[in-house]
Structure 1
Amino acid sequence: MEARGGPEVLRFGELAEPAVEAGQVRVVVKAVALNHLDLWVRKGVASPKLPLPHILGADVAGVVEAVGAGVEGLTPGDAVVLNPGVSCGRCERCLSGQDNLCPKYQILGEHRWGGYAELVSVPAANILPKPANLSWVEAASVPLTFLTAWQMVVDKLQVRPGEDLLVMAAGSGVSVAAIQIAKLYGARVIATASSEDKLAQARALGADETVSYAQPDWFKEVRRLTGGKGADAVVDHTGAQYWEGVIKATAWGGRICLVGASSGYEATTPLSHVFYRQLSIFGSTMGSKSRLFPILRWVAEGRLKPIVGATLPLAQATEGHRLLEERRVFGKVVLEV
């Protein structure tokens, strides 16, 4: 990426190889998955002061090529998945397992060079073994979205068996992961999307009920499906366009977890609903590095699965951005290197 703007600012070319510093591992990238974060960085919405040129890409699967001084337990040739959250590893937050609250927290592809490349270097703490049952493309589809969804569903919302969980924008990577994790924890899932095709795929993935949010007053259908109660918990990243509906779709005493705002940041909040109905609203970004361990175990057992909507070569990253931006896929868009 040489400038801010539309997908056309992406360039395919040559840059210097990343160094392998002490405590780091250099990985040959086999596949890198796209996220909406890539679009926000490209547009300058996220990290607008980032020096250019910049290499995007948070979700990487590949092979260890070299290890830096002091690295143990990893050798060239190991098949690995990269954890996209990089932290100092020494502060109080990191040592308490809240590394995604580290003052020096960075996300691969946003704050530091990422995986739209042949090689990428990361701290050894960010390397995990690739589940043997996954292809490179599938493995690259796991880290960021499943970490994000895990923190939302399990850590923040603390979803319990029998609760109604509303998952907004079911076709997104985060929502695909959230549906599966919620079912793993015994919730009844109501998924929303704008097209019947995406709603059908959400049902195939495990959603118990689906609602089209293309319809006016879609939140009333959520309330009808819950016997007038509303959703006990909500996973949301849709932003200003749907925010009032999300609040009205939530049950008294319900919980809402926000992880993005794809339709805009400036939302109107009906405060009477928040205080009178005693709603809890949580903000969420990524998840602790530790959470990727149980996620990959569930993936290895087949209880959680990455959903790939489209696969392209790295040289077609521009088309991948268009697919994601135009919401033409259900699941992840992945670039093969």
Structure 2
Amino acid sequence: MQALVLDGINQPVQLREVPTPQPAPGQVQVSLHAAALNHRDVWIQKGQYAGLKFPIILGSDGAGIVAAVGDGVDKSLLGQEVLINPGRQWGSQPAAQGRDFQILGLPQDGTFAEFVCVDAQQVRAKPAHLSFGQAATLPLGGLTAYRATFTRAQLQAGERVLISGVGGGVALLALQMAVAVGAEVWVTSGSEEKISRAVALGAKGGISYKTEKWPALLTKQAGGGFDVIVDSAAGPGFNDLLDAAAPGGRIVFYGATHGDIPDLAARKVFWKQLSLLGSTMGTDQDFAEMVDLVEQHQLVPAIDQTFPLAEAEAALRRMDDGLQFGKIVLEIKS
């Protein structure tokens, strides 16, 4: 089969012929029609990820058709259109993943290929209203957004929510899901264009995080502080989120692209009775509930740009440069 292979740190991905994987007992082989990028792929390529091994086929997100099944797998799955849950071996405790938890695309070869083999329980029927490309954008980003926003932060209809750094796939999916359940959504971004595009997706408004004293300005515009704040940056700007939060608010973060939080204003946390929540990926139940929400509300993920598989290196550079609004997709089969 054709696959994109990464041979080492800071190397470009190379499209080459590799052996087609065959399903082991309990697995299915998926003929991939589309895959989607995540920042995880860029971090692995740059050597900024734990457990590196080479060569590796990157890719955590994918959608396609079940082409073969291993021993012990229900043959009725053959021919089904599916999307893949990239998380496996979460463990027995829903509260946090166990030591054996893995994400597709490292250490197991991922979805930047014509075929991938995964455990049968990792596939879920593709929402019928979505194309393969649209469905491929959901797994990692949708799972991360759902668990952070609903399982961890327990967002409810009618609450005011702030999503920081809108433009990336997870943030936009959190925006769409929160709007769908009846929350009032506001956003921040360093780009006025991205704020405008978020408003077109249902946000009430937003502000540039480069604006001096933006929390005071935004909370005045929104009519109060935010019950839930969803963040992926952390870093020095995290204290601004404490100012933007309503008393009793929940701040959930699923990443730290701006690094650790220096000099946390602890007095604001306890005086405002705030909850700080970490979140990573999600359980099989989170994944199922996420897909159900997408189907129920007929949500269509935002796609930034679609590249052919052979141009994946250009796609990775677009993500690395932070130019995208929505998910970047690789078309594998038209």
The amino acid across from 1:86 in the alignment is: R
Residue 218 and residue 74 in structure 1: after superposition, are their counterparts in 2 closer, same or farther (change >3 A)? farther
Residue among 17, 21, 38 paired with 1:18: 21
Q: Distance in 2 between matches of 1:251 and 1:146?
A: 26
1:175 aligns with 2:143: no
- Please state how far the C-alpha of 1:183 moved relative to its aligned partner: 1.6
In 1, distance between residues paired with 2:286 and 2:265?
34
Task: Pick one of 75, 80, 90 that aligns with 1:78.
Answer: 80
The residue number in structure 2 matching 1:318 is 313
Q: Deviations over 1:144-199 (max 9, x none)?
A: 11111111111111112222111011111111111121122321111111112111
Question: Aligned with 1:120: secondary structure?
Answer: strand
Q: Deviations over 1:114-149 (max 9, x none)?
A: 101111110000011112221111110111111111
- 1:243–1:268 CA contact under 8 A, matched in 2: no
Structure 2 match to 1:146:
142
Rounded Cα–Cα distance in structure 1 between residues aligned with 2:37 and 2:238? 25
2:198 is the counterpart of 1:202: yes
Instruction: Return the letter of the residue paired with 2:92.
Output: E
> 2:3 aligns to what?
none
State the alpha-carbon separation in 2 of the partners of residues 267 and 30 from structure 1. Answer: 44
Q: Which amino acid in 2 is paired with 1:269?
A: L
2:181 matches 1:185 = yes
Q: After the TM superposition, which residues 107-146 of structure 1 pair with which residues of structure 2 at under 5 Å, given as runs?
A: 107-146=103-142
The 5 Å alignment of 1:135-284 reads 135-227=131-223, 229-265=224-260, 267-284=262-279
Distance 1:322 1:241 in 2: 26
Aligned mates of 2:57, 2:182 — CA distance in 1 = 39
Task: Tell me if structure 1 keeps the 8 A contact 2:226–2:244.
Answer: yes
In 2 relative to 1, CA 297–92 (structure 1 residues): closer, same or farther, beyond 3 Å?
Answer: closer
User: Residue 335 of structure 1: CA displacement?
Assistant: 0.5
Q: Which runs of 5+ in 2 are unaligned?
A: 1-5
Superposed counterparts of 1:26-45, under 5 Å? 26-45=29-48
Pairs within 5 Å for 1:52-67: 52-67=54-69
Q: Which runs of 5+ in 1 are unaligned?
A: none
Q: Aligned equivalents of 2:184 and 2:109: distance in 1?
A: 39
- Contact between 2:130 and 2:300, CA under 8 Å: does it hold in 1? no
In structure 1, distance between residues paired with 2:328 and 2:170: 13
For 1:100 and 1:68, locate their aligned partners in 2 and report how far apart those are by CA, in whole Å.
Answer: 30
Q: How far 1:100 moved relative to its partner?
A: 6.0
Partners of 1:324 and 1:218 in 2: CA distance: 27
Q: Which runs of 4+ in 1 moved over 6 A?
A: none
Question: Structure 1 residue 252: deviation in Å?
Answer: 2.1
Q: CA RMSD in A?
A: 1.8
The residue identity in structure 1 corresponding to 2:126 is K
Matched, 1:46 2:42: no
Name the SS of the counterpart of 2:19 in structure 1.
coil
For residues 234 and 318 of structure 2, the distance between their equivalents in structure 1, rounded to whole angstroms, comes to 20
Distance 1:50 1:331 in 2: 27
CA distance in 1, matches of 2:257, 2:30: 31
* Separation of aligned partners in 1, 2:35 and 2:80: 17
TM-score of the superposition, structure 1-length normalised?
A: 0.91
User: 2:321 & 2:217 partners in 1: Cα distance?
Assistant: 26
Aligned pair partner of 2:284 in 283, 289, 300: 289
Structure 1 counterpart SS, 2:207:
strand
* Whole-angstrom distance in 1 between the partners of 2:309 and 2:318: 14
The CA distance in 2 between the partners of 1:23 and 1:257, in whole Å, is 35
Instruction: State the identity %.
Output: 37
TM-score between the two structures when normalised by the length of structure 2: 0.92
Hey, what's the Cα distance between the residues in 1 that align with 2:188 and 2:133? 26
d(CA) in 2 for partners of 1:314 and 1:99?
37
Is the deviation greater in 154-163 or in 294-303? Answer: 294-303
Instruction: Report if the CA contact (8 A) 1:27-1:66 is conserved.
Output: yes
Alignment-mate amino acid for residue 85 of structure 2: N
Distance (whole Å) between structure 1 residues aligned to residue 146 and residue 235 of structure 2: 23
Matched AA of 1:245: D
How many residues of Structure 1 are paired with residues of Structure 2 in the alignment? 327
